[in-house]
Structure 1
Amino acid sequence: MPTLNDLDHEVTHCRRCPRLVAWREEVATVKRAAFRDQTYWARPVPGFGPPDAAISLVGLAPAAHGANRTGRMFTGDPSGDFLYQALHATDLSSSPISRAHDDGLELHGLRMTAPVRCAPPENKPTPAERDNCRPWLATELTLLRPTLRVVVVLGAFGWQALLPVLATAGWRIPRPRPKFGHGMRVDLPGPDETVLHLLGCYHVSPHNTYTGRLTQAMLREVLTEAKTLAGLSCP
C-alpha cells in the first residue's frame, strides 16, 4: 500500500483523460491576463492536508485559473477565498488566505480532495473522466481510514461521485442511496464498525456565495459540526 506522499506524487503525473490534459495545458499557455507573468501548475492537483486527518473535505475539481494555476486545492480563486476564511474561523486552517502551494499555510485535522483532479472545461467533467479519477480518491480515503471520522462534501456532484468510492473503500452505503442536501448527515458503518459521518454542504462556488445561497455562517456551522463529530476541539 502506498503512502499519501506516494499517492500525491503519482496523481500529479496522471494523463488518463486526453480532453482534460489538453484543456489544463491550454489554459496554462493562454492564461488569464491577471496571471500572465505566472507559471501555471497545469497538472493534476493532489490532495492537501495531514495524513492523519480526522476530516476530509471533498469538492468537485480544480478551477482552471485557481488550483490549476497554483497547484493546491481551492487556492487562487473566489471559491477558495471563501472556503479558507471559514476554515480559519473554525481553526481548521493556519491562515484565512491561501495564495500558493508553498506559502506555508497548514490545515489542522482536515485534508481536502476532489473526485476529479484536473481542471475540466466549464467545470463539467464527463462521467468517464470522473470514473477515470475514481481510483485516486478511493486509495486516498483508504489510506486515511485509520483516523478519518467525517467527510464534508461540497455540492451534489461530489456527493454522487463519493458514495461509490466510499463503498469501494469499505464503508456500507444505505439503500436507497441518500440524496445530497445542505445540512444532510448520513452515518456510515465501516468494516471495523467505526462510523464515518457524511455531511452535505452547498459548494463554495461564486454562484452560491455571491447570491447568498451559502453564507459564511452556514459553512462555519457545517465545519463546526464536523469538528464535533470528529472529536476535534472547537474554537
Structure 2
Amino acid sequence: MASADGSAPAASGLGLLDRRIAGCRACPRLVEWREEVARTKRAAFADWTYWGRPVPGFGPSDARLLIIGLAPAAHGGNRTGRMFTGDRSGDVLYQALYDVGLASQPTSVAADDGLELYGVRITSPVHCAPPANKPTPGERDMCRPWLVQELRLLRPTVRSVVVLGAFGWQAALPAFAEAGWSVPRPRPAFGHGVRVPLDDPDGGGGLDVFGCFHVSQRNTFTGRLTPAMLRDVLRAAAEAAEAADAGGSAEAAGR
C-alpha cells in the first residue's frame, strides 16, 4: 500500500510520483469520503464513472511556474481525476491561464479534453477531496511529503509559485524549506499579491512565491477575487519565472 511517509523510496520522476500519489490510502477519513462520493455521485453526473482516488499534479515535468491550491473538489477533481477540472473554481482558473497565454484552451472539463499547460504545473498540498472542503491539519501534514517530493523533482526548472489561499500558503512554506529553499523566519504572512523571494542555499535557482486569494466560489462570487486580479498575479509570476530563466542563461553564458 502506497503512503506518503518518509520511508517510501524516492520517486524517479513525476510520472512515477503521480502514480504513487494516486494509490495513497494514508488518511482513513479522506479515503472513506472520496470513495463514498464516487459511489453516490451528484445527480448531474450520474452517468460518470468517478475517479474517486487521490488526484496527482497536472502539467509538464519541466514547468517554470507551479500553482498550489488546496485540495480536489468532491465533484470536480475527485470525479475527473485532474486538478481543478470539472468545477467552477477550475472554470475561473483555466480561463485566466488561457487569457495570459499559459493554457491551450479556456475550459477544463475532463482529463481527456486536450487541454495543455505551457510551462505551468498545478498541484495541491492535499490530494484527496475532503469533507466540506476542509482537510484537517493532520491530513495536511500527512500529505506534505508528496508535495516535498514534487518540489524536489521540479527544482531544476521551477522559478516561481502561485499559492492559492491561506491554507495552501501554510502548507507550502514548510514544504519549500524541506525541498531545499530558504524560507524567512518568521514565516511571511499570506496576502493577495504578496511576493516572497526564496534563496537556494546550494546555489541553484531561487524561487519567487506569490500569494493569491483562492479561486473558490465564495471568493469569485463575492468579487473578493476578480478575473483581473487573478490574471495580474499569474502574469507577474510568469514574468518572474521568465526573468529568472533569462538571468540564469546570461550568467551561464558569461562564465
CA-to-aligned-CA distance 1:64-99 (integer Å, 9 cap, x gap): 000000000000010000100000001111010101
CA distance, structure 2, for counterparts of residue 67 and residue 193 of structure 1: 33
CA distance, structure 2, for counterparts of residue 28 and residue 193 of structure 1: 43
Matched, 1:93 2:103: yes
Amino acid at match of 2:215: V
1:60-209 matched pairs, under 5 angstroms: 60-190=70-200, 191-209=202-220
Matched, 1:43 2:43: no
With normalisation by structure 1, the TM-score equals 0.97
CA distance, structure 2, for counterparts of residue 193 and residue 11 of structure 1: 27
CA distance, structure 1, for counterparts of residue 83 and residue 205 of structure 2: 28
CA distance, structure 2, for counterparts of residue 194 and residue 141 of structure 1: 12
SS of 2:198's partner is strand
CA distance, structure 2, for counterparts of residue 123 and residue 26 of structure 1: 15
**Alignment match, 2:239:** 228
Q: 1:210 aligns with which of 213, 221, 225?
A: 221
CA distance, structure 2, for counterparts of residue 194 and residue 66 of structure 1: 34
Once the two structures are TM-superposed, the CA of residue 193 in structure 1 deviates from its matched residue by 4.8
**Alignment match, 2:248:** none
Greater Rg, structure 1 or structure 2?
Answer: 2
Q: Is contact 2:65-2:120 (8 Å) kept?
A: yes
Once the two structures are TM-superposed, the CA of residue 103 in structure 1 deviates from its matched residue by 1.2
Once the two structures are TM-superposed, the CA of residue 195 in structure 1 deviates from its matched residue by 1.6
Q: Is contact 2:13-2:153 (8 Å) kept?
A: yes
SS of 1:187's partner is strand
Identity of aligned residues (%): 65
Q: Is contact 2:162-2:210 (8 Å) kept?
A: yes
**Alignment match, 2:22:** 12
Question: RMSD across aligned C-alpha pairs, in angstroms?
Answer: 1.1
Amino acid at match of 1:205: S
With normalisation by structure 2, the TM-score equals 0.90
Q: Is contact 2:156-2:205 (8 Å) kept?
A: no
Once the two structures are TM-superposed, the CA of residue 194 in structure 1 deviates from its matched residue by 2.4
Amino acid at match of 2:208: H
SS of 1:231's partner is helix
Amino acid at match of 1:49: G
Once the two structures are TM-superposed, the CA of residue 118 in structure 1 deviates from its matched residue by 0.1
Amino acid at match of 2:216: S
Structure 2's unaligned 5+ residue stretches are: 1-9, 246-255
Q: 2:44 aligns with which of 34, 52, 55?
A: 34
Amino acid at match of 1:209: T
Q: Number of matched residues?
A: 233
